[in-house]
Chains A and B, each alone.
Chain A
């Protein structure tokens, strides 16, 4: 069995990286992810890992160095936040387009301007079309578990895609929690050795990566990426199953809570799931049939599975910790609502944009959401499709 410890989300992730012992790690510090690499750099200095740590001059270079190392055939990791992720943008697509299974921890933070260093999902959500597998974590334990699993998911046969794991900046990254670390050996046995399919360093079989790809083949390569994302679904479940055998902890695309007999439901992701669960319990005590669903995997988006899980609801609130300005609501909302569209009977679905720039989502705003949902359930009418919650008028 693993070891019960008290540590911040960042230190938990750094320990996951120590246990993973990647071949190469290239990173540039940015709040609130800095602590991950700072701690990991100590592990490197203390000889606790064999990792080649490349201290680069920017996040663009961090991802570029990671791409080179992954192309060479290494197991590669990094961590970043917000503007750091934004600076990687160009290279994110090159990592996925070249089919390099890099694993990256994203300590979710608001994007400037105005400057804000606190937790929201606008960084990772902005990268949702970059061809990376995306997962979100409710707490330090999940961040630790997710980043370990991300390694194997990305490396899976037929997948070969990079994966990013989100964890809410400060709210989780800097909060000390009680969590369980696996034994080092358990993690290493679980992951095994990475056997790259087409390593550039294999001088006996010289290959070319990233060549010019014009009108005649580019579409086919993008079609392959779409297929790899579909294949990632099976890989995510398989890795979760194997991980449960080691850790005892269960993971899927999402985690329903008191949803089965519910009339109304709240879909959320990240740290706000904890508060939402608390409110669900409060409301249940009052006899209100509300449930919740915590989304773990955003890419690949689990359309059919969500359809099944949500179809019986009468009203559903989708919580977005980022905005997609000018769109029909936040990014999670757009996709959930689209997934429900083809159902013969579907819940009336509304969106709440909340918690931007790290603003706390307390109990009362969620109680308000439940109240709105009850009203929608009774009247079958939506008054406001997209509500900016936790904002002063």
Chain B
């Protein structure tokens, strides 16, 4: 079986993760079924979505929304629900 994953002799015991900060290696974007689509016209750059996003997927530059990082956005829809300007719509991935 060749999966590219390591065998039992080559991984730390007990599921331990022996280095810090490696959650960046786990691309939660793979879980997404609905994608947040942002209407920049409506956006007021209040950064609520940035605060609420559980995966730090909202990218901010110069205190303004830049983009949503789809590598990590898992499509939870929290940003869309919290946005006071209704600037984010959740669109089914298959319909994009």
Q: Which residues of A contact B (CB under 8 A)?
A: 97-99, 160, 198, 205-211, 213, 216-221, 223-224, 227-228
Contact = CB atoms under 8 A, between A and B. Distances in A.
A224 B17 contact: no
B24 to A, nearest CB: 14
A190 B80 CA distance: 63
- Chain A contact residues, majority secondary structure: loop
Interface stretch (B8-16, B70-78, B83-91): B8-16
Contact of B15 (A160, A206, A213, A223): A213
Contact of A209 (B5, B14, B20): B14
A221 B18 contact: no
27 contacts: A98-B14, A98-B16, A99-B14, A160-B13, A160-B14, A198-B12, A198-B16, A198-B18, A205-B18, A207-B16, A207-B17, A207-B18, A209-B14, A210-B14, A210-B15, A211-B15, A211-B17, A217-B11, A220-B6, A220-B11, A221-B14, A221-B15, A224-B8, A224-B11, A224-B14, A227-B8, A228-B13
A207 B16 CA distance: 7
Contacts of A218: 15
B14 to A, nearest CB: 4
A160 B15 CA distance: 13
Interface string B1-37: 0010111100111111111100000000000000000
Contacts of A224: 8, 11, 13-14
A205 B3 CA distance: 30
A73 to B, nearest CB: 13
The 4 closest A-B pairs by CB, nearest first: A220-B8, A99-B14, A208-B17, A223-B8
Nearest to A98: B14
Contacts of A208: 16-17, 20
A213 B16 CA distance: 10
Contacts of A228: 13
Contacts, number: 54
Contact of B14 (A97, A219, A223, A227): A97
Query: For A218, A223, A224, A227, which residue has the most chain B Cβ atoms within 10 angstroms?
Result: A224
Contacts of A210: 14-15
Contacts of A219: 8
Contacts of B11: 217, 220-221, 224
Contacts of A97: 14-15
B13 A221 contact: yes
A198 B12 CA distance: 10
Contacts of A217: 5, 11, 15
Query: For A207, A216, A218, which residue has the most chain B Cβ atoms within 10 angstroms?
Result: A207
Contact of B5 (A98, A99, A216, A223): A216
A218 B8 CA distance: 10
A211 B5 CA distance: 17
B96 to A, nearest CB: 27
Nearest to B6: A220
Query: For A217, A218, A219, A220, which residue has the most chain B Cβ atoms within 10 angstroms?
Result: A220
Contacts of B13: 99, 160, 221, 224, 228
Contacts of A216: 3, 5
